[in-house]
Chain A
Amino acid sequence: MGMREEMETAGVETSDAEAVERTLAGERDAYRVLVERHSRNVFRMAYRMTGNRQDAEEVVQEAFLRAYQKLRQFEGQANFGTWVYRIAANYGIDRLRARNAEQSRRQDPRGPHEDGMEIDPLALAKDTAPSPERLAASAQLAEKMKAALNELTPAERTAIVMRHWQGCAIEEIAAVLKSNTNATKNTVFRAVSKLRKALEPYAGGFGAARAMGSES
């Protein structure tokens, strides 16, 4: 019987700190508790950063592997969840940069799209006609937003994901970006400003977006 099953049987919830302590003492199964507790949230953040499922799953795997390798460095820190997010964000930004570099190398003017399909930002930019149906408008807006996020630099995208969705402090984001707080604030401003400009032509869809809410 694994540790998790044992705990479930006993009806005991192990704290993250205790699971870390047991993992460090050599109980491999204790790490399973941490992975199963945090992997879904890390996936959400990774998906927002990378914009596709395959990359997000890769980020999750790598983040938990790196966290395991560095677990001794975690000792004494407050929150395993926050720590593993930061590791995921670090790896995510490296992956985004590598992806962008690869795209520049190929000199492909088109951006990547979910599930391997490609969309043409130029075609999107020309498509300014608002949809009459609210649902269609929301779906369209989500596509525009996805395209706009893909146009951000890795640092801008990481900053906006960490700030808006994860609620991270500027200092935490600065640590991931290896930058100072003022420069990081500017990165956030730049990201918002770029998104705003990219979405301005579709402002009519914003109301629908508010109504649609988040699926996550």
Chain B
Amino acid sequence: MNHLSEEELIVYREGEEKGRATAAAHLVECPECREELAKIEAVFAALDAMPVPDPGEGYERRVWQQLEPRLPERRGRWWAGLFEARRLVVVGAVAALILAAYLIGIQVGKKRLGGGTDVAGTEKVRERVLVVAVGEHLGKSEMVLVELANTDARRGEKLINIAAEQKRAEALVDENRLYRQTALREGDTAMASTLDELERVLVDIANSPEEVTPGQFESLQKRIEAKGILFKVRVVNQDLREREKSERPSPAQGNSGMQERKKA
């Protein structure tokens, strides 16, 4: 008679359905296997008998008292975060840029209604304000992503400190959100989509612990890599730079413009 292996007995004890009927039939017939099963059962009974000390009355309160001072400040909803003092400077600067672009947009509208002739030029200025601002934002985001991508997770440290990248990502999330909303409002869905993907990655970095194990760090790197966001950011940023260059008036063009205006 073939006896059940230790593994089969453990599986039987765990209640797994596969092969259960066969094992049960064998156990009825075989006193040796029953004895083996009893020994395994006894190991689990001994495990159950292992005492766990009572952490004492009020343990839960003690845990909280020790934990609370270690908890980082948590932002509420994103709009609450916008009003935190340390973010006001960044958000204010971004908002000012967007406002400038918006006001230029209104001016364009007025000129259109009034039949102004310099509409195209004003629109270009407006676009350039946004192009420069978003390009700068993408450049900063790219630097954070590159630093994380180029860090060697297996450099022998037990924990990898990413506090600096995390803080920068946290600040960039707010900027990114404003630019994404502006892009959506402007109907630039491609830009909005890239910014949306970037925002998810930045939030992921911002919400990571300050210190991560090499395994956790690799998993973060893989998530960044899987989305191909670094490549997308580079492409969009390059595109913006080219747009900025092409829209910047060259000295020659500027002079001819002046000459034309003089003629007029």
A132 CB-CB contact with B under 8 Å: no
Interfacial chain B residues near A195, Cβ < 8 Å: 43, 46-47
Q: Is B106 positioned at the interface, with any CB of A under 8 Å from its CB? A: no
Total interface residues on A, using CB and 8 Å? 59
State A138–B74 Cα separation when bound (angstroms): 49
Q: Does B49 contact A (CB under 8 A)?
A: yes
The number of A-B residue pairs with CB atoms under 8 Å apart is 134
Q: Which residues of A contact B208 (CB under 8 A)?
A: 69-70
Query: Which of B61-69, B92-100, B128-136, B175-183 lines the interface with chain A?
Result: B61-69
User: Are the CB atoms of B60 and A35 closer together than 8 Å?
Assistant: yes
B125 within 8 A of A: no
Tell me if B209 and A40 are in contact (CB < 8 A).
no
Contact A94 B213 (CB under 8 A): yes
* A8-50 interface with B by 8 A CB criterion: 23-26, 28, 31-32, 35-37, 39-40, 43-44, 47-48
Distance to closest chain B CB from A185 (angstroms): 8
Question: For the complex, what is the distance from the CA of A215 to the CA of B54, rounded to whole Å?
Answer: 8
B161-198: contact bitstring with A at CB < 8 Å (1 yes, 0 no)? 00000000000000000000000000000000000000
Residues of A within 8 A of B68 (CB): 28, 32
- The yes or no answer to B251 lying at the interface (CB within 8 A) is no
Q: What residues of B have a CB within 8 angstroms of the CB of A77 in the complex?
A: none
A215 to B, closest residue via Cβ: B51
* Contact status A203-B39, CB under 8 Å: yes
Q: Which residues of B contact A205 (CB under 8 A)?
A: 46
A196-B39, A203-B39, A209-B48 are known; give 5 further A-B pairs, CB within 8 A.
A24-B76, A43-B55, A48-B50, A145-B47, A188-B10
Show the binding face of B for A, using Cβ within 8 Å. 6-7, 10, 39-40, 42-55, 59-61, 63-64, 66-68, 70-72, 74-77, 80, 158, 203, 207-209, 213, 215
Q: Give me 19 A-to-B residue pairs in the complex whose CB atoms sit less than 8 angstroms apart, sorted by A's number.
A: A26-B76, A35-B64, A36-B61, A36-B64, A39-B64, A40-B59, A43-B55, A60-B63, A65-B71, A98-B158, A142-B49, A142-B50, A192-B6, A196-B6, A196-B39, A196-B43, A210-B45, A214-B49, A216-B52
